[in-house]
Structure 1
Amino acid sequence: MNIRKSTMDDLDILLHLYENARTFMSSHSNPVQWGTTYPEKELIISDIKSGHSYVCEDHTKIIATFFYHKADDPDYNEIYEGDWLNSMPYGVVHRITSDGTIHGTASFCLEWALKQCGNLKIDTHRDNSVMQHLLKKNGFSYCGLVHLQDGTERLAYQKTL
């Protein structure tokens, strides 16, 4: 597998991956986190243009996508009912999804992101048991609760090298 930055030529594939992810989430007791429209096409385009959208390929076929950025995330400035593992510079992963064809793809993407920065933070919805399992399986520590800019609560995780 290979990770590369997304391009505008990938947009239709990314939209399809996210559509499938929303259906999967809804069928696995998590219909609220991404609803029926998140992430919107404009957000995905913005991610691509900013250089923070990535795809994972297997023999040139896109099998996963995610947002990665090494920068402070304002949603992580305050944490409740816990603490971050450290206050060192970190990277963030958001909007990760795969097509499910190759076992371990999401883990591969998370490991790639961690290697880029050595200190990775991520959050997920309380109902997203699939993502919670993935994070625990990959050695992420539960750190507490964060609130997104829209006020919704998320479970916060962190892993360091």
Structure 2
Amino acid sequence: MEIRKAKHNDITEALHLVQDAQAYFKAHHINQWQDGYPNYDSLMNDIEKGKGYVLCDHDQVIGYCYGAFEHEPNYDSIENGQWITHNQPYYVVHRVVVSNEYKGKGLAGLFIDHFIDVCQHEHIHSIRMDTHDDNKSMQRFLSKHGFKPCGRIYLDNGDPRIGYELVLEDEEK
């Protein structure tokens, strides 16, 4: 298995993974990604900015996500809680998807492991993510990987999400 930055020619496979996830959410009555987002344009924007990543099994793309050292405006305001770290840079992860054929094998965790390594190299001590209230599988995934629920954030369109944060230990310890 390999994680690498997504390339333009990965867009079709990445979009297919997102569409499968959208269908899964719809079938399980999870109102996440049901408004046409993420879509071709958002994934292509990720890739063009160098913030899209793919998980490959040999040459086959089996996972996709967005990862970046950046300020996430939707995380500026948090209700019913607070972020663990304050006024510190953090890494943001969004749009984590794994092929239906590979689900349940812990492969999404490879993205987290990769981003932890990147953060430690860059001396960033926090990773933030968010998910829908009904997305129990993502909530379990985040808890399993040490993320703590921090409170309620809102997307640009007003949709609520649970904000999660993972605080990383210094690599020297």
Give TM class, smaller chain. Answer: over 0.9
Secondary structure of 1:101's partner? helix
Structure 2 CA distance, aligned partners of 1:74 and 1:36? 20
Structure 2 CA distance, aligned partners of 1:52 and 1:74? 17
**1:72 Cα shift?**
1.1
Structure 2 CA distance, aligned partners of 1:100 and 1:113? 22
Would you identify which runs of 4 or more consecutive aligned residues in structure 1 move more than 2 Å?
none
Structure 2 CA distance, aligned partners of 1:25 and 1:36? 12
1:144 matched residue in structure 2: 151
* Contact map agreement 1:140 1:157 (CA 8 A) in 2: yes
Structure 2 CA distance, aligned partners of 1:58 and 1:35? 28
2:32 matched residue in structure 1: 33
Letter of the structure 1 residue corresponding to residue 13 of structure 2: I
TM-score, L = length of structure 1: 0.94
2:93 matched residue in structure 1: 93
Structure 2 CA distance, aligned partners of 1:111 and 1:75? 24
1:114 matched residue in structure 2: 116
**1:36 Cα shift?**
5.6
1:10 matched residue in structure 2: 10
* Structure 2 residue ranges without an equivalent (≥5): 120-124, 169-173
**1:101 Cα shift?**
3.2
* Contact map agreement 2:98 2:107 (CA 8 A) in 1: yes
Structure 1 CA distance, aligned partners of 2:101 and 2:79? 37
Structure 2 CA distance, aligned partners of 1:89 and 1:36? 30
**Aligned pairs, how many?**
160
1:64 matched residue in structure 2: 63
Secondary structure of 2:101's partner? coil
* Contact map agreement 1:17 1:64 (CA 8 A) in 2: yes
Structure 1 CA distance, aligned partners of 2:155 and 2:80? 15
Secondary structure of 2:149's partner? strand
Structure 1 CA distance, aligned partners of 2:17 and 2:35? 13
Instruction: Output one character per residue of 1:42-80: Cα deviation in whole Å (capped at 9) or x when no partner.
Output: 111111101100001122221100000111100101111
Seq. identity, %: 34
TM-score, L = length of structure 2: 0.88
Backbone CA RMSD of aligned residues: 1.2
**1:27 Cα shift?**
2.1
